[in-house]
Amino acid sequence: MSDILLRDKTASRDVDSPAVVNRKTDANIRNPKKIFIKTYGCQMNVYDSERMADVLSPIGYAPVDVPDDADLVVLNTCHIREKAAEKVYSELGRIRKLKEAKLRAGRPGMTVAVAGCVAQAEGDEIMRRAPVVDMVLGPQTYHKLPEMIARVTRDQDGVLETDFDTLEKFDNLPATRNPKGYSAFLTVQEGCDKFCTFCVVPYTRGAEISRSVEQVVAEARHLACKGVREITLIGQNVNAYHAVHDGADWGLGELIQHVAGIGGIDRIRFTTSHPRDMDDGLIRVLGDEEKLMPYLHLPIQSGSDKILRAMNRGHTYAHYRDLIGRIRETRPDIALSGDFIVGFPGETDLDFEQTMKCVAEIGYAASFSFKYSVRPGTPGASMPCQVPEDVKQQRLQALQNLLYSQQTVFNKSLIGRKLNILVEDSGRQDGQLFGRSPYLQGTHFYGDVNLKGRIMPVTIADAGKNSLTGVLA
């Protein structure tokens, strides 16, 4: 349901009139409006932020790197943990000061929009708590941005849009994209039906949907035409992807193989997968498809069956371990990464030890680990036996010590190896280049700037916890 909150927004009478907003005029091509988008959270938000810029480009908005002179500021927010959500309000405080300073100096102010998962979860509260905000827009409404800007301008009212029709969004986003580099995200699946008891995503992103094969392939071809060589297919449960294509049921495996057939696309990745949806077809493709990079993010969250049950993950540790065994048999060079939560309600020392044992047994090349954060409205929030903060902190420390040492050992195991690096950008030092290895590690080496966009063999000379360095082979 969309909703309009009436409020005097005199301070934001600074954007184009609706007639101008809806048309690409010579004036705004010559003198583009500036849009600043700040992105928090996951890859889905990174993709969405790019798409917001794509939606606004035909009506004369060009992206800028700092908010100071922007005509439109968008905060694309994340609600996954309490800290992530809090950041929005502190950032809004800074934006308010910027806007007030501009108005005091007699310059046009700025339109301020809050998008993303906090917008979806707390839209009304944002409107109430932060009068600087002109627009609140949920993740499924970005195709309506021009219309919302027009409404704010015309009516001087705050606009709150939290419709939930994901397919409508994808049907209405522009066909063109303006990728920034040689690697791009492509959303193929959005939303989640799994309802893990700690997680807000099913509430902020809605039910699981998959985009059609035609749409995904058209977007991938377009990216290839724009020089993109690596595509990461993304979804909250990307391996739950399913679609009917030419009368047949397609899963993520079939989709990957199809995308791999597109000329110009040399590398494919996918994230985030759920252990329950990791089927044999996809595992086979992991073994067969050379363009698929040997890196898999497969979160387990906890090594304790009791905690996995309380989290509603729908599988046991043994299931996960067997799954990893089969994946490694099929693709022996695969590097694994995972997500972990410590201090979920009811987690005892013994449960935590089982998580440590899981990490020791499985072995991770990379990881993301978090203290459990109580999220309002999720079942975990009202569970008994919440774990005290200091215990969570100690457990996180111990877990990260183990995970980071595994990561360092993995990175160092690559010293002396020749890896193909997709050169994405210049490095910090003069003459230095930056790219990504097949295992996703950032890699620095010296070389000609013309190598950007190429996949180059690099011999790894040194490795730390977070990155590699090497020399052109």
Site for ligand SF4 in 200-229 (CB under 6 A): 201-202
Which partner in ligand SF4, ligand SAH, ligand F3S, none is near 373 (CB below 5 to 8 A by kind)? ligand SAH
Which partner in ligand F3S, ligand SF4, ligand SAH, none is near 370 (CB below 5 to 8 A by kind)? ligand SAH
196 binds ligand SF4 (CB under 6 A): yes
CA distance 163 to 205: 11
CA distance 70 to 57: 14
Q: Measuring CA to CA, which residue among 174, 293, 179, 173 is closest to residue 227?
A: 179
In the complex, least distance from residue 382 CB atom to ligand SF4, rounded to whole angstroms: 17
Q: Say which amino acid occupies 6.
A: L
Q: CB neighbours (10 Å) of residue 415?
A: 14
Q: Which is nearer to ligand F3S, 121 or 334 (CB)?
A: 121
467-472 vs 455-463, strand pairing mode: antiparallel
194 binds ligand SF4 (CB under 6 A): yes
Which listed range, 77-85, 226-234, 273-281, 311-319, lies at the site for ligand F3S (CB under 6 A)? 77-85
Ranges of H-type helices in 301-433: 305-310, 317-330, 349-362, 389-412
Q: 390 near 342, Cβ under 8 Å?
A: no
Helix, strand or coil, per DSSP, at residue 410: helix
Q: Residue length, the chain?
A: 473
Ranges of H-type helices in 78-144: 82-104, 116-129
Tokens 């690559």 sit on residue: 414
Which listed range, 2-10, 318-326, 367-375, 405-413, lies at the site for ligand SAH (CB under 6 A)? 367-375
Which partner in ligand F3S, ligand SF4, ligand SAH, none is near 195 (CB below 5 to 8 A by kind)? ligand SF4
116 binds ligand F3S (CB under 6 A): yes
Which partner in ligand SAH, ligand SF4, ligand F3S, none is near 117 (CB below 5 to 8 A by kind)? ligand F3S
Site for ligand SAH in 299-328 (CB under 6 A): 299, 301
Per-residue string for binding with ligand SF4, 232-271, x by CB under 6 A? ----xx----------------------------------
In the complex, least distance from residue 301 CB atom to ligand SF4, rounded to whole angstroms: 7
Which partner in ligand F3S, ligand SAH, ligand SF4, none is near 78 (CB below 5 to 8 A by kind)? ligand F3S
Q: Say which amino acid occupies 295.
A: Y
195 binds ligand SF4 (CB under 6 A): yes
Residue with the CB atom nearest ligand SAH in the bound state: 339
Q: Say which amino acid occupies 410.
A: F
Which listed range, 76-84, 107-115, 299-307, 320-328, lies at the site for ligand F3S (CB under 6 A)? 76-84
341 binds ligand SAH (CB under 6 A): yes
CA distance 219 to 265: 12
370 binds ligand SAH (CB under 6 A): yes
Ranges of H-type helices in 196-303: 201-205, 213-225, 252-260, 280-288
444 binds ligand F3S (CB under 6 A): no
Helix, strand or coil, per DSSP, at residue 136: strand
Q: What share of the chain is helix, strand, coil (3-state, %, to 5)?
A: 40, 25, 35
Q: Which is nearer to ligand SAH, 102 or 392 (CB)?
A: 392
Which partner in ligand F3S, ligand SF4, ligand SAH, none is near 182 (CB below 5 to 8 A by kind)? none
User: Could you check whether the bond before residue 162 is cis, i.e. omega within 30 degrees of 0?
Assistant: no
**To 5 degrees, how large is the angle CA 37–CA 38–CA 43?**
105
Which listed range, 193-201, 387-395, 436-444, 452-460, lies at the site for ligand SAH (CB under 6 A)? 193-201
- What tokens appear for 77 in the block? 């927010």
419 binds ligand F3S (CB under 6 A): no
201 binds ligand F3S (CB under 6 A): yes
In the complex, least distance from residue 48 CB atom to ligand SF4, rounded to whole angstroms: 16
Based on its alpha-carbon atoms, the radius of gyration of the chain, rounded to whole angstroms, reads 23
CA distance 140 to 25: 28
CA distance 79 to 162: 15
Q: Which residues of this chain interact with ligand SF4, rule CB under 6 A?
A: 192, 194-196, 199, 201-202, 236-237, 274
Rule CB under 6 A: which residues touch ligand SAH? 80-81, 198-199, 201, 236-237, 272, 274, 299, 301, 339, 341, 370, 372-373, 375
